Amino acid sequence: MKLYIQVRKFILDIFFPIKCIGCGKEFENLEPRESWICVKCIEKIPIMNQQVCPVCEQFSEDNKTHYRCKDKTFLAGVWVASEYSNEIISQAIHKLKFNFVKDLSFPLSEIVIKSILQVDELSEFHSLILSEFAQESGEEKIYQDEKKNEPSETILIPVPLHKRRYNWRGFNQAFLLSKCIAIKFGLKLEDGLLIRKRNTRPQTKIRSMIKRKENIKDAFSVAENNCIKNKNVIIVDDVCTTSATLDECAKVIKKAGAKNVWGLVVARR
């Protein structure tokens, strides 16, 4: 079986070589997680150096939802790694979701991880996502040493797909991203805890913020055997625009007893 896989990969590499979606460079003899976006192109992708409030979309000094906006959302804040306007980011997300290139979840999650680690000041979000990050080397050790008071357990929850869309795509891109991030930071990943009970219209096809909220309203529920109570939850998705989907997820998670709920996405449109 192993020989068959190697031969199949060799033939595919000859007739359908994988090229970097940034510079067009062909990849040879690389593991799946090392292909599709070369190291040089990943380094060129701009990281968000300023986070905004998910409600008013104005700069937030502590990366949190502004105090004046708290009554308009269930999200403590949303961490955004990069901008969807970046051509590599937009192409990568499109190919992941609509060309079913699952391996693109690796470089996209690396961009998210990079954005979290490459900051000048730690925030409350960092105290949650780095709560179990115990690697003992270099810059990563500094993050572990400087974390704030020991928080409640932090878990990652991917935004779920409806069963019908999952069967069409064959995977949930938010889960693939969450898996890579959870492994990196040593966090628990809870897939299946959040359920999408309605097959809603894609948010990208709706321009109005009000209609986006109506479209996604009551689309999610929490499994009865949930383990959310008193936990810090980080909801992971690929893209957000108005944060309506993240907020609707946060609503049911907060009602299930979560302590804090944050959003984490690759890019903002």
Q: With bands split at pLDDT 50, 70 and 90, how would you rate the model's confidence at 134? A: low
Residue 141 has a pLDDT of: 45
Kindly report, residue by residue over 173-196, the tens digit of the pLDDT: 999 999 999 999 999 999 999 999
Residue 157 backbone class (left: φ over 0; alpha: ψ -120 to 50; beta: rest):
beta
Give the burial class of 236: count Cβ atoms within 10 A of its Cβ; 0-12 exposed, 13-18 middle, 19 or more buried: buried
Pair of tokens at residue 117? 């680690």
Rounded to an integer, the average pLDDT of 98-122 is 93
What is the distance between the alpha carbons of residues 192 and 223, in angstroms, rounded to a whole number? 8
Residue 264 has a pLDDT of: 98
Entry pTM = 0.87
What is the distance between the alpha carbons of residues 40 and 76, in angstroms, rounded to a whole number? 34
Kindly report, residue by residue over 83-106, the tens digit of the pLDDT: 999 999 999 999 999 999 999 999
Cβ-Cβ contacts under 8 Å for 20 (sequence gap 6 or more): 26, 27, 36, 37, 38, 41
Say whether pLDDT at 117 is over 60: yes
Cβ-Cβ contacts under 8 Å for 161 (sequence gap 6 or more): 169, 172, 174, 196
Say whether pLDDT at 234 is over 80: yes
Cβ-Cβ contacts under 8 Å for 196 (sequence gap 6 or more): 160, 161, 162, 163, 219, 220
Pair of tokens at residue 231? 């936990």
What are the residue ranges spanned by the domains of the chain?
49-268
Pair of tokens at residue 134? 């115990």
Kindly report, residue by residue over 8-50, the tens digit of the pLDDT: 444 445 445 788 999 998 887 677 777 899 999 999 999 998 9
Q: What are phi and psi of 68, to 5 degrees?
A: -70, -15
